[in-house]
Each structure stands twice: as C-alpha cells, then as structure tokens.
Copies of this chain bind each other. A is one copy, B any other.
Amino acid sequence: MADILNEQQFASDNYSGVCPEAWAAMEAANAGHAPAYGADAWTQRASDAFRELFETDCEVFFAFNGTAANSMALASLCQSYHSVICAESAHVETDECGAPEFFSNGSKLLVAPSADGLLTPDSVRAVAERRSDIHYPKPRAVTITQSTETGRVYSVAQLQVLSEACRSLGLRLHMDGARFANACAALQLSPAELTWKAGIDVLCFGGTKNGMAVGEAILFFERALAEDFDYRCKQAGQLASKMRYLSAPWVGMLENGAWLRNARHANACARRLVDAVADVPGIAAIFPVEANAVFLSAPPDVLDGLRARGWRFYTFIGGGARFMFAWDTAVERVDALARDIRACA
C-alpha cells in the first residue's frame, strides 16, 4: 500500500498525516480527566503559546476546520446584508459550498479580479466603490489568503498598502491562513510582522495542513471584534467538548517550532521540484513558486504520461498541474517526480 500512498502524495497537502510533535502533545493530553469545553489546562497553554508567538494579547479560539473558522470569522465582521471582497480564486468563493453565505445568513462575496490570487488596493477599491445604494450589499470586509491558493505570498509592503486601503474604505481585513506557516517560512518573517503589525484584524491559522489531525485557530488582534465569539462557536457546532484534543496539538506545534519547520520543509520541496525541471522544454511554472505549491504548464501528453506512471495531481485550479508539498513529503519522491517529468517531456 505504501507505493499507492506515495503516488498520491502531491495531490494535496491535506493528504499528509499528523506530525510527531503534534501527536506527542495529543498523547500527553490523553491522561486522566480534564474539564470540557476549553476549561482545561492544555487549552490555556495553547492560547498563551499563540499570544507569545504573535507577541500580542490577542483573543484565541479553536475551531474544527478551515471552512468553519473562516466563515465564522467573516460572519463576525458582517451582517447578512453586508458583503465581503475576495479574489476570484479565493477558497471561500470557489471551494466552500456556500459556507460563508450560510454562516453569515447571506453575506455576499464580491469577487475582485486578481493576478495570481493577490488582491491589491486598486482591485479592492474598484469593488468597494462600485456601488453605494441599498440594492447592493455594503462591503464591510476583505479576505485574503496567505499564502494564496496559487502558491503566492503577500509581502509585508503589499499587506500594508492593502490594509491602509481597507481602513480608508471602512473595511475589516481578514486573513485565511490555511497555509499561513508556509508564508512565514517563505518570507522569513515573524507571525506578528505578517499579521497585526501589517494591519490584519483577524487571522485563521491553519493547523490541519501544517501537520495536525484537525483544528484551526482564530486570532482576533482587535479584541473588541471577538465579543461573544465563544457563543458563535458554540451555536455553529464548533465548540469541542473534549477541547484538549484540539488545543494540545497546537502546544506541540508552537512551543518547539514544529509549525515553522514543517512549513519550511514543504516549501523546500516545492522549490526543489521547480528548480529540477526549470530547463525541461515545454514545462513552465505558471506562478512564481513562493510557498509549498507548484503549478506547471505542460503539454497534455506529458500530463497523461505522468498519470500513467502513477502520479496524482489536480488540474482544475489555475489551468495547469498542481503539485502540493507537505511536512512529510519525501525528498526522494520529489526527485522521482522531477525525473519522470523530464522523461515524459
């Protein structure tokens, strides 16, 4: 079965398992009884670890998955008759089955055109100022993905001009950080620099793709925005009774730096692949490779050839073949893939 599993390993980074650090913490948490619903010591410790890592006294909540974390965060910034501006390739628009609209009871997503999934002040402004009548839902928030669905990262400078534009337009700025760790690793910057210091109001920090079994953290840097958010989590089915199993893995990830090591490895694998095929004729990276994703354009017969050799990858995003790398990607498999690309080309 190992071969089959390895063949699958570049389809998505959520095909990966739980990293040893997260597992060990979860195992340590599995001792005796503990108060439910987050009143346990592990949840306190994980929350404090976030506050230390982000160098600020933010409000921290834990949700089961990214769908819910992002949807609840956006709903907390909007009423149902408001709207949220996002890139046309944003996961919340393309792959959440209407979850943001469901959690908010109808807040519309307004799609801004974007290159590489990166929003700019101009693209946001164009959408925000498109209409100002009551027949159109009033924009109240912007959501960006860091790193983006196309493997790009926003620089601090890009974040700052964007957040300034948002502030001037009366818009809150939310960051979908399903792959936030990869952005930190790519830019070699601290979580604080990439979030609240750059004007982010709310971050959903993804644990699942980073090496956990389940769970995302929602960080409100402006505490007032988090008023009664614990009730929202409860009502929306996102309050774990045995919370320690959601929070302890974060302790394992954050306290010893596994979150960053995991992301660095995944990014390095992406870099390794794209470098290895840089000189192969007919093969080209569609987007600059900045995080843990590689999108390759290749002739159809090359892709068919790769599939015939057992490789699995998505082709429905961005127009090419997407290869995703995770904390547990085997370097040998990356090299094997590169060889096969060269052979098929």
Highest count of chain B CB atoms <10 Å: which of A81, A208, A245? A81
CB nearest neighbor in B for A227: B79
Closest CB of chain B to A317's CB: distance in Å? 11
Q: Is the CB of B16 within 8 A of A231?
A: no
Q: Judge if A5 is at the interface, Cβ distance under 8 Å.
A: yes
A69: nearest residue on chain B (CB-CB)?
B237
A6-B33 contact in complex given A97-B231, A137-B97, A213-B245, C-beta closer than 8 Å: yes
Interface centre among A72, A98, A236, by most chain B C-beta atoms within 10 angstroms, is: A98
The closest CB in chain B to the CB of A102 belongs to B106
Chain B residues within an 8 Å CB radius of A34? 5, 8, 15, 17
Q: How long is the Cα–Cα vector from A16 to B33 in the complex, in angstroms?
A: 5
Hey, which chain B residues are within 8 Å of A214, CB to CB? 64, 214, 240, 242, 245-246
Alpha-carbon distance between A15 and B30 when the two chains are bound, in angstroms: 11
Say if the beta carbon of A228 comes within 8 Å of chain B: yes
A94 within 8 A of B: yes
Q: What mask results when residues 183 to 224 of chain A are scored 1 for a CB within 8 Å of chain B, else 0? A: 000000000000000000000000011000110000000000
Contact across chains for A67 and B234 when beta carbons are under 8 A apart: yes
A-B contact pairs, 25 of them (CB 8 A): A5-B33, A15-B34, A16-B33, A17-B31, A63-B237, A64-B238, A68-B237, A69-B237, A71-B237, A80-B232, A95-B135, A96-B235, A97-B134, A97-B231, A99-B106, A99-B234, A101-B106, A102-B235, A105-B106, A106-B106, A134-B230, A134-B239, A135-B234, A214-B246, A237-B237
